[in-house]
Amino acid sequence: MGNFTKLIYNELTKMYIRKSTWVMYILLGVIILGIGIIANMYGELEESYEQDTWREVLQKENGQLTTEMEQEEFLQGINTSLIETNNYYLENDIQPVGYGAWQFVMENEILLSLVSLLTIIVAAGIVANEFRWGTIKLILIRPITRTKILASKYIAVLFFSLFTLLFVLLFSWIIGAIFFGVESMNPSIVLEKNTGLEYVSVFGEIISGYGYQLVTLVMMATFAFMISTVFRNSALAIGTAIFLMMVGNQIVFFFIERSWAKYILFANTDLNQYTNGNTPLIEGMTMGFSVTVLIVYYAVFLLLSWVFFTKRDVAGY
């Protein structure tokens, strides 16, 4: 192992040796399992679509949905779109796949905000804790520059989020496979997009769905890392990062009339606003603009962390 690799290894060891980290993973697992159980109990559309009978199955479903709709007013919206989807299959002569592990993973996209949350907690602690434990003194008196130590900590946080993301994907897939089976190796389904119904690959949906959220994850983790390095206080870092993540959109809408609203970080974290025929939040914003704003914020966060970590005296409290 190279010198720098060893530093990252050290950081990951300290992370994963602690029980609190494992509690996080157990919680994630329990939540995914819970979603699986609930989906299994209340999921209704679990027909299998056989080669020669799928057309009749879809027709029957449509019939059921229509009667349901007539009895229960509030089901109108959702059932109409389900019927439309079924019709899309029929009209285009596509044999639908049943529900299964891949679609379960796709629908659990929301779990990525939990991954963000855990990453924020880890990022908030990784520098502040060394100060709290007093071990920072023993780390800094090694023949390693402070820049390298800080970089190893930051990269370890990114690894943590990657591992956690993989855990969520893998565990969701396994739970999905156990409860619903595996639909096929690379299933495609009809989904309602802005431009209307579309036949898309589930795999592609998973990648873009999780991928767009990664922007927020990385930005908020870096923000928490910065607060933690500047103030050496993990609670403060967790608090501010989570608070901002939750109210970020409200902040943007509160200031939406102002000319500088488009420079707010949260106006730019959702890159999905430029794809799939979506309209950008504020007129005139482009993908290039948002990416630039994100890079500037990111660089400022890292620069502040670096300045405070490398330039400051390490004294007692």
Partner 1 sequence: MSETAMELMDVKKRIGKKEIIKGLSFTINKGEIFGLIGPNGAGKTTTIRMMVGLMQLSNGDVKILGKSIKTNYKEAIREVGAIVENPEMYPFMTGAQNLAHYARMIPGISKKRVQEVVRIVGLEKAMKEKVGKYSLGMRQRLGIAQALLHKPSILILDEPTNGLDPAGIREIRMYIRRLATEQNVAVIISSHLLSEIELMCDRIGIIKNGELVALQQVNEKADQNNLNQIQMEVTPVERAIELLKAHHGIHAVQVEESLSFQSEKENIPSLVQTFVQNDVSVFQVEVTKSTLEDKFFDLIGENTIG
The CB density around residue 219, as the number of other CB atoms within 10 Å, is 23
Residue 7 binds partner 1 (CB under 8 A): yes
Residue 232 binds partner 1 (CB under 8 A): no
Alpha helices in the chain (DSSP H): 3-16, 19-42, 54-71, 76-92, 101-107, 111-133, 136-140, 146-180, 202-231, 234-254, 265-268, 287-311
CA distance 239 to 74: 39
Residue 315 binds partner 1 (CB under 8 A): yes
Residue 10 binds partner 1 (CB under 8 A): yes
Residue 310 binds partner 1 (CB under 8 A): no
**What are the structure tokens assigned to 144, written together?**
């390693």
CA distance 108 to 80: 23
Residue 34 binds partner 1 (CB under 8 A): no
CA dihedral 276, 282, 286, 290 (to 10 degrees): -100
- Indicate the residue among 196 and 316 with the shorter CB distance to partner 1: 316
Rg for the chain (alpha carbons), in Å?
Answer: 24
Residue 145 binds partner 1 (CB under 8 A): yes
Residue 94 binds partner 1 (CB under 8 A): no
Tokens 């908020």, located at residue: 220
Residue 17 binds partner 1 (CB under 8 A): yes
Q: Kindly indicate which of the ranges 10-18, 229-237, 245-253, 269-277 contains the residues binding partner 1, using the contact rule CB under 8 A.
A: 10-18
Q: Kindly indicate which of the ranges 7-15, 60-68, 168-176, 212-220 contains the residues binding partner 1, using the contact rule CB under 8 A.
A: 7-15
Residue 155 binds partner 1 (CB under 8 A): no
Binding stretches for partner 1 (CB under 8 A)? 3, 6-7, 9-10, 13-14, 17-19, 133-135, 137-145, 313-316
